[in-house]
């Protein structure tokens, strides 16, 4: 029955993103607008191992999202899990990726969104969750001007400060590469919002970890350039 329902949903889906691990589609079911995230089989893995890996990752992502919603972090609700196909069905957040709109926004709005995002990420980090891929492609600005985090496929529950710092490092890199004109003011306001939630002392520890990550990255890059 579950498999039949999943196949029926799949036929009605419109693919919106194809990643290395999963195909993401949008669809409508019983009047609900949904997003499906189907983890595709990998032929290089043994079939039994492949099923286990996809099942574990699907369940983990659902667990993280459920935890974050309890913590008040805005992200899509889990509607259904089809373990037979390793497919997660989520609430569709209607809006635009922040990546597509940020450069067109007035400065005051950039400041507001950065401040709000800092508060959201701070709440997530206080809940011991690292997103794992925090870029402007995985942040949605909905039709009412609210921010939502999406795509927790690389997320982890952790007490490791460096894993949390990686989130901020990745956000900064995405701003530098795609939104360079607003990078400085965005990160300044982001850290202000982040500090409001986690406290100044914790924020400074995270910032220091981000600096360490950057230094290591520059060191590796310099070694690669040497003959």
β-bridge partners, 89:
36, 80
DSSP reduced 3-state for 53? helix
Segment 57-63 long-range contacts (CB within 8 Å, at least 24 positions apart): 57/21, 57/86, 57/153, 58/83, 58/86, 58/87, 58/88, 59/83, 60/155, 61/37, 61/88, 61/152, 61/153, 61/155, 62/88
Q: Which of 32, 20, 12, 10 is nearest to 154 (CA)?
A: 20
For residue 22, CA distances in Å to 58, 134, 219 come to: 10, 17, 33
Q: Please give the positions annotated as active site.
A: 133
Task: Give the whole-angstrom CA distance, residue 9 versus residue 12.
Answer: 5
Q: Indicate if the alpha-carbon torsion angle 102, 212, 194, 192 is positive or negative.
A: negative
Q: Indicate if the alpha-carbon torsion angle 134, 136, 137, 138 is positive or negative.
A: positive
| Six token digits for residue 70 | 């309890």
Backbone angles phi, psi at 34, to 5 degrees: -125, 165
């Amino acid at each position: 029955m579950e498999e039949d329902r999943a196949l029926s949903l799949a036929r009605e889906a419109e693919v919106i993103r194809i990643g290395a691990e999963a195909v993401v589609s949008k669809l409508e079911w019983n009047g609900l607008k949904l997003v499906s995230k189907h983890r595709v089989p990998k032929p290089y893995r043994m079939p039994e191992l492949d099923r286990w890996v996809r099942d574990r990752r699907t369940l983990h992502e659902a667990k993280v999202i459920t935890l974050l919603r309890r913590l008040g972090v805005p992200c899509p609700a889990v509607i259904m899990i089809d373990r037979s196909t390793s497919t997660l069905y989520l609430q569709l957040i209607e809006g635009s990726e922040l990546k597509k709109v940020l450069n067109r926004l007035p400065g005051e709005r950039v400041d507001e969104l950065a401040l709000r995002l800092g508060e959201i990420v701070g709440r997530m980090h206080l809940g011991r969750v690292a997103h794992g891929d925090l870029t402007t492609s995985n942040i949605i600005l909905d039709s009412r001007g609210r921010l939502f985090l999406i795509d927790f496929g690389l997320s982890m529950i952790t007490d490791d400060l460096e894993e949390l710092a990686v989130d901020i490092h990745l956000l900064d890199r995405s701003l530098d590469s795609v939104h360079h004109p607003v990078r400085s003011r965005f990160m300044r306001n982001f850290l202000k919002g982040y500090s409001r939630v986690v406290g100044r002392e914790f924020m400074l520890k995270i910032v220091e970890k981000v600096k360490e990550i950057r230094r290591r990255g520059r060191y590796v890059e310099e070694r690669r350039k040497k003959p």
